[in-house]
């Protein structure tokens, strides 16, 4: 099957995950794609193909060499973001994009314009897969799945490419931060792996944010407003006061590169009770810890100001910067850089302003950098996927497997 046809088949499955579902996978509809992939991998000739009770799919490409070669893996996630609908995706291929506005839905007046999305101009002359403007596309991360499966299909059809044992893993719920939680690293059995979950052609990422979530509950005192002087403590007003006193220059909209931030996700409440939800991010571990200390100190200050425990803080670490796990094994990155150059892909090594399953997997004992999948403008209706990037990513998987078999470790 051609890789474009394969990708278009995958995006026909609605696999949107859901926050706070309390189950794995968070939505049962993800299982339909997992079941399809299980059958597809078997039909291609991979072995040890299985889907576990949580919807994780594993498979093996057996080695075709007698020499000792490390077992490596390739991983992608099946779910799409809760931020935008992934139901009834209607993809369209724009042939030889000419650099002008792309009409997604003429009747609804929906377009994708290079004025708003200048990255489109990097792909003039290329075929682009776009949406109809009403859903996301799903290249995050069904492009990654298509690239891995197509690479395995190629390697099975070309036994002259010498390679070691290769493992494939497809997981649910990456978009809600739970993709790695039930990933069976021991069963996967790899020395290292790669997530195919990045963006633009050439991206290679082995640094990410250290991440924490923070919930601040505010307890007020409700009194009739006509007699409230000196008695009422308006919880939602206290919450707003707290938010206003947080550093205004350390928010997502004010930061870039290696700059960390506090991000207020939501504020809700009334006079009696209010709640603020934050995420805390920083690439540097010391600065990350200092940010958490700042929150603790701010809550303590408010409690002193109001003379009682008006605020309670719940702070939970989510994941850490994978760099400290990757640096001791530099060949894991060096092979990808060499493979990119062999495929004519300029490497773009950069830090992720976010996290991936690979970050959590790295701390679970599986070093796991992140490689581009080729899509852009994820999580919304302006998402698009350049077809040449899709093909190059799959070619890169093959080259990584080939080069790994040629190395001495």
The yes-or-no answer on residue 174 being catalytic is yes
Specify whether 205 is catalytic. no
Tokens 């803080």 correspond to what residue?
Answer: 313
In contact, 185 and 171? CB cutoff 8 Å: no
Distance CA 314, CA 292 (A): 11
Provide the Cα torsion 286, 291, 293, 296; round to 10°. -160
Neighbours of 295 (CB within 10 A): 19
**CA dist list (Å): 216 to 86, 185, 280, 290:** 32, 34, 13, 18
**Is residue 271 within 8 Å of 222, Cβ to Cβ?**
yes
Nearest-CA neighbor of 33 among 50, 45, 51, 15?
A: 15
What CA–CA distance (Å, rounded) separates 373 from 202?
9
14, 79, 203, 383: the active-site residue: 79
Q: Which is nearest to 191 in space by CA: 339, 355, 332?
A: 332
DSSP letters along 121-142, please?
GGGTTS-EEE--SSS---HHHH
Catalytic residue, candidates 14, 141, 153, 174? 174
Output the CA angle 13-14-16, nearest 5 degrees.
140
Catalytic positions = 79, 174
């Amino acid at each position: 099957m051609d890789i474009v046809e394969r990708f278009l088949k995958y995006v026909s499955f609605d696999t949107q995950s859901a926050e706070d579902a309390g189950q794995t996978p968070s939505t049962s509809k993800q299982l339909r794609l997992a079941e399809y992939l299980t059958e597809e991998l078997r039909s291609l000739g991979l072995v040890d193909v299985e889907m576990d009770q949580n919807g994780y799919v594993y498979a093996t490409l057996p080695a075709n060499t007698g020499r000792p070669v490390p077992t490596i893996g390739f991983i992608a996630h099946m779910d799409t973001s809760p931020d935008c609908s992934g139901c009834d995706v209607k993809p369209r291929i724009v042939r030889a994009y000419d650099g002008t506005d792309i009409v997604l839905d003429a009747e609804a007046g929906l377009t994708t314009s290079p004025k708003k999305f200048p990255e489109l101009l990097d792909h003039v002359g290329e075929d682009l897969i776009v949406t109809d403007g009403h859903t996301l596309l799903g290249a995050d991360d069904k492009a990654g799945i298509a690239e891995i499966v197509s690479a395995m299909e190629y390697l099975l059809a070309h036994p002259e490419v010498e390679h070691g044992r290769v493992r494939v893993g497809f997981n649910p719920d990456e978009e809600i931060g739970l993709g790695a939680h039930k990933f069976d690293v021991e069963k996967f059995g790899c020395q290292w792996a790669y997530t195919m979950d990045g963006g633009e052609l050439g991206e290679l990422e082995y640094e990410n944010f250290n991440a924490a979530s923070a919930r601040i509950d505010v307890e007020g005192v409700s009194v009739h407003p006509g007699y409230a002087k000196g008695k009422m403590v308006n919880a939602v007003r206290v919450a707003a006061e707290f938010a206003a006193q947080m550093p205004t220059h350390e928010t997502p909209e004010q930061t870039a590169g290696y700059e960390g931030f506090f991000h207020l996700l939501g504020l809700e409440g009334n006079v009696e009770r209010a709640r603020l939800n934050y995420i805390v991010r920083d690439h540097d571990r010391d600065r990350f810890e200092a940010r958490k200390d700042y929150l603790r100190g701010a809550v303590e200050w408010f409690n002193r100001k109001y003379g009682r425990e008006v605020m309670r803080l719940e702070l939970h670490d989510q994941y850490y910067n994978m760099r400290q796990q990757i640096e001791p094994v530099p060949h894991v990155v060096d092979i990808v850089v060499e493979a990119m150059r062999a495929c004519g892909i300029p490497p773009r090594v950069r830090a992720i302003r976010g996290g991936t399953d690979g970050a959590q997997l790295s701390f679970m004992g599986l070093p796991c950098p992140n490689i581009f999948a080729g899509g852009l403008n994820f999580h919304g209706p302006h998402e698009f996927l350049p077809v040449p990037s899709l093909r190059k990513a799959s070619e890169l998987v093959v080259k990584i497997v080939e080069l790994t078999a040629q190395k001495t470790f």
